[in-house]
């Protein structure tokens, strides 16, 4: 009889799960595995059949009150045999956080509801090319390079994420190829953003801004760092549906809606101002 074992993933095995995500069309970043694993080294589980990894899931704990679920993948040839469900159940049974968030494909909402998750809102992925977006953007003063996680940045980020995520932020900002910018007015941070290279093109996330013009300035500042030969590369931004100013900005820039997820929570929707979230950090970690 085959033996099915569930255990934490090593860093190399997490990279394998990221490769699976790429094959699923999720377009991960080049350094996602290292950034994600450093956030919670115990938060990634794999299902192994006779020693072979066939499934993955993550429930990354930011603190005792909040975690985020992602990387729920079963290799296609092993689907339908219950391996994924066992992994899902183990991951949630190991979760000590009171509230767990996830971004799931829309047609799986009913399955997530069975596990106690409730719909909060949709996130929509928009895309356009570097060159087309740059030609439309209007940049104003106020942006500067972001290379370290200051106390001010931690405080700003905490307003727009359910809990503190200092370890994640430091890894995200310092990862090779990632470019981050911050926007300040009168000595106070009013926006922050990161551009990361992915298997296809680039993703912008987070894109946090107190106003739409700040979001536009940050986006312009990020894209100006790219070489001219990148002008035909795609740029992706994941926008929460309640932020109508972000949708208006996407329309102004001529971005195309290409994908959507259902943001769901196991306990309650966190009290964050979605009108200041012009781009979700990542579907895998929230």
pLDDT in tens, 125-144: 999 999 999 999 877 678 99
For residues 134 and 258, state if they share a domain.
yes
Please report whether residue 285 resides in a domain. Answer: no
Domain boundary among 94, 121, 148: 121
The pTM of the full predicted model, rounded to 2 decimals, is 0.95
Please report whether residue 258 resides in a domain. Answer: yes
For residues 117 and 149, state if they share a domain.
no
Instruction: State both tokens at 45.
Output: 């589980």
d(CA 173, CA 40): 17
d(CA 16, CA 33): 9
For residues 136 and 168, state if they share a domain.
yes
φ, ψ for residue 70, nearest 5 deg: -160, -170
d(CA 212, CA 218): 10
Domain boundary among 121, 139, 156: 121
Which domain, by its residues, includes 41? 4-121
pLDDT tens-digit series, residues 221-259: 999 999 999 999 999 999 999 999 999 999 999 999 999
On the question of pLDDT at 8 being above 80, the answer is yes
- Check residue 107 and give its pLDDT: 83
For residues 143 and 187, state if they share a domain.
yes
CATH value at residue 69: 3.40.630.30
Domain boundary among 121, 154, 178: 121
For residues 114 and 128, state if they share a domain.
no
- In three-state secondary structure terms, 76 is helix
On the question of pLDDT at 110 being above 80, the answer is yes
For residues 9 and 112, state if they share a domain.
yes
Please report whether residue 284 resides in a domain. Answer: no
Please report whether residue 182 resides in a domain. Answer: yes
Q: Is 58 left (phi over 0), alpha (psi -120 to 50) or beta?
A: beta
Quick one: which of 200, 279, 199, 284 has its CA closest to 239? Answer: 279
For residues 137 and 85, state if they share a domain.
no
Q: Over range 109-118, report the average pLDDT.
A: 93
pLDDT tens-digit series, residues 33-62: 999 999 999 999 999 999 999 999 999 999
Total of domains in the chain: 2
CATH value at residue 230: 3.40.630.90
For residues 232 and 178, state if they share a domain.
yes
d(CA 72, CA 54): 11
For residues 80 and 210, state if they share a domain.
no
Percentage of the chain with pLDDT > 90? 93
């Amino acid at each position: 009889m085959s033996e099915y074992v569930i255990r934490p993933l090593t860093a190399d095995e997490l990279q394998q799960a990221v490769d699976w995500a790429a094959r699923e069309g999720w377009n991960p970043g080049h350094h996602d595995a290292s950034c994600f694993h450093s956030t919670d080294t115990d938060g990634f589980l794999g299902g192994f059949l006779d020693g072979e990894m066939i499934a993955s899931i993550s429930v990354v704990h930011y603190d005792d009150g909040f975690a985020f679920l992602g990387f729920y993948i079963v290799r296609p040839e092993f689907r339908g045999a219950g391996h994924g469900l066992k992994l899902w159940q183990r991951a949630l049974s190991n979760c000590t956080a009171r509230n767990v968030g996830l971004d799931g494909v829309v047609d799986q909402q009913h399955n997530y509801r069975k596990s106690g998750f409730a719909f909060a809102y949709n996130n929509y992925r928009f895309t356009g090319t570097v060159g087309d977006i740059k030609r439309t953007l209007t940049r104003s003063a106020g942006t500067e390079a972001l290379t370290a996680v200051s106390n001010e940045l931690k405080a700003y980020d905490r307003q727009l994420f359910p809990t503190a995520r200092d370890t994640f932020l430091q890894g995200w900002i310092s990862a090779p190829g990632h470019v981050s910018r911050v926007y300040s007015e009168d000595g106070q941070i009013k926006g922050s953003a990161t551009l990361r290279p992915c298997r296809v093109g680039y993703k912008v996330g987070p894109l946090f801004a107190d106003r739409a013009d700040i979001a536009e300035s940050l986006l312009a500042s990020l894209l100006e760092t790219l070489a001219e030969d990148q002008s035909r590369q795609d740029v992706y931004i994941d926008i929460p549906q309640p932020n109508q100013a972000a949708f208006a900005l996407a329309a102004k820039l001529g971005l195309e809606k290409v994908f959507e997820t259902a943001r769901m929570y196991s306990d309650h929707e966190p009290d964050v101002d979605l009108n200041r979230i012009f781009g979700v950090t990542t579907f895998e970690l929230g």
